[in-house]
Structure 1
Amino acid sequence: MLEKDFDRIKEVFGKEPVETEETFIKGWFKTGDLGKIDKDGYYFLTDRIKHLIISGGENISAKEVESVINGIKGVIESCVVGIPDETWGEKAVALVQKSEGFELEESKIKSICKEKLHDWKCPKTILFTDHIPKNTMGKVLKGKVKLLF
């Protein structure tokens, strides 16, 4: 998880005591971002902690799965979310917007995901849609997507 120590951020968050207490731990600002550092010391943000899917004790990055699905010919965009599962805690599911008139089946997407990802990362259910719900800023509304499953 990415952490930063910025006095200016503390000033802004200081106006909201509850948020400040939850966001700052021992003086460090918890961004909510997941990331990695490459061999050259560059930082790469990979996902948000709140979008992490935990299935059977394994962490699944929604962005990683979306990247595979979005690379499939005929896919405009996808949104991967975790929904409750009695056996695994959560399971990955995907909402996919495909190109108009393009034939694309759930089995094809699952097959490609299994070629490129560990089996436990692959979406268990895939639904198709004409549009993925977004807010006025164009950000995907993952909460609304979850309600479709």
Structure 2
Amino acid sequence: EEHYRFMLILPLFHVNAQIVTVMAPFTIGASCILTPGFSAQTHWETVAKYKASTFSAVPTILSILIKMPHENLDLSSLEFVICGAAPLPVNVFREFEETFKCRIVEGYGLTEGTCASSVNPIPTDTEDRRKVGSIGIPLPGNEMKIVDSDGNDLPPNSKGEILVKGDNVMKEYFKNPEANAQTLKDGWLYTGDIGHIDEDGFFYITDRKKDMIIRGGENIYPREIEEVLYSHPAVSLATVIGVRDKIYGELPKAFIILKEGKSVTPEEILKFCKENLADFKIPKYVEFRDDLPKTPTGKIMKQVLRDEEKA
């Protein structure tokens, strides 16, 4: 719609900012609100001042915005919020929508796929086909499927690697034949993301392939643990990585930022996990922090945490 105002809060070197927040609105004659960058302290004031219709963010940003003051501001211009770049915890999804009375449109894509390959259908006044926790269905001109480690197609509800195909997929990595051979096969882009498709054709992301934890031969996807942690009333931000163990090879470790004014012990977190997870998925360690390393776009940098644990 031409009246839309897309508010830019992600850095312009990022494909999401370039495609979703700048080029997309210009193709329909809409406008873009340029900001110096994401600021949790002034975000809602900026939305109210410039009557933003939408903005594109990552899950960490939405988690932060939930706790920022906004009660005395007019946010009625905000029609929906776009979220991508990482899996959005279901509890954050529901709390954000309930708090701001604004719909979230979750999508999926990579830089190699020009940002967007799938999206949850945008809700209308008469229909809401979204599935909470899903990255939606392929966009027009895109194909997606799930394959096993040998590249064979998998049936619905089977976990495997997500592959995408379309004119929006890159030609190749520049002068990097090894990466091209690993990533581009028979016209398909191997994303490195683990997920599944349901009977209705909706895709779901489980985790990054490289983030999977192997505990004594058992595969553990950190997102499953993170979903449980985000459902705890005291948790604001959470992430899980695998740390070395002499017996099991790897064990899960949780890093947590608590909500302001909340207090909880590691033992209480572990007890909560035991009530909601299989025994082998329960974190071995819990560490509380005041902050977590993030990329310029706001994604939690798990590799930095892994490097710290190895040091």
Pick from 200, 204, 207: which aligns with 1:47?
A: 207
CA change 1:100–1:8 in 2 (3 A) is: closer
Paired position in structure 1 for 2:225:
65
Give matches, 1:107-146, under 5 Å: 107-146=267-306
The one-letter amino acid paired with 1:111 is K
Paired residue secondary structure (2:171): helix
Give matches, 1:67-82, under 5 Å: 67-82=227-242
Give yes or no for the alignment of 1:103 onto 2:263: yes
Query: What are the superposed Cα offsets for residues 50-97 of structure 1, whole Å, 9 maximum, x if unpaired?
Result: 111111111111111011011111111111000111111111001110
Q: What is the alpha-carbon distance in structure 1 between the residues aligned to residue 189 and residue 251 of structure 2? A: 30
Larger Rg: 2
CA change 1:74–1:43 in 2 (3 A) is: same
Query: What are the superposed Cα offsets for residues 89-131 of structure 1, whole Å, 9 maximum, x if unpaired?
Result: 1110011101233210001111111111101101100000001
Q: Is the 8 A contact 1:34 1:46 kept in 2?
A: yes
Q: Say how many residue pairs are matched.
A: 149
Q: Is the 8 A contact 1:6 1:29 kept in 2?
A: no
Give yes or no for the alignment of 1:83 onto 2:260: no
Q: For structure 1, which runs of at least 5 residues remain unmatched after alignment?
A: none
Q: What is the alpha-carbon distance in structure 2 between the residues aligned to residue 77 and residue 119 of structure 1? A: 23
Pick from 151, 161, 171: which aligns with 1:11?
A: 171
Q: Give the TM-score normalised by structure 1.
A: 0.90
Shift of 1:28: 2.9
Q: What is the alpha-carbon distance in structure 2 between the residues aligned to residue 38 and residue 19 of structure 1? A: 30
Q: For structure 2, which runs of at least 5 residues remain unmatched after alignment?
A: 1-160
Tell which deviates more after alignment, 116-125 or 8-17.
8-17
Paired position in structure 1 for 2:133:
none
CA RMSD across the alignment: 1.7
Higher relative contact order (CA 8 A, sep 6+): 1
Q: What is the alpha-carbon distance in structure 2 between the residues aligned to residue 7 and residue 41 of structure 1? A: 21
Q: What is the alpha-carbon distance in structure 1 between the residues aligned to residue 165 and residue 299 of structure 2? A: 27
Q: Is the 8 A contact 1:69 1:78 kept in 2?
A: yes
Paired residue secondary structure (2:169): helix
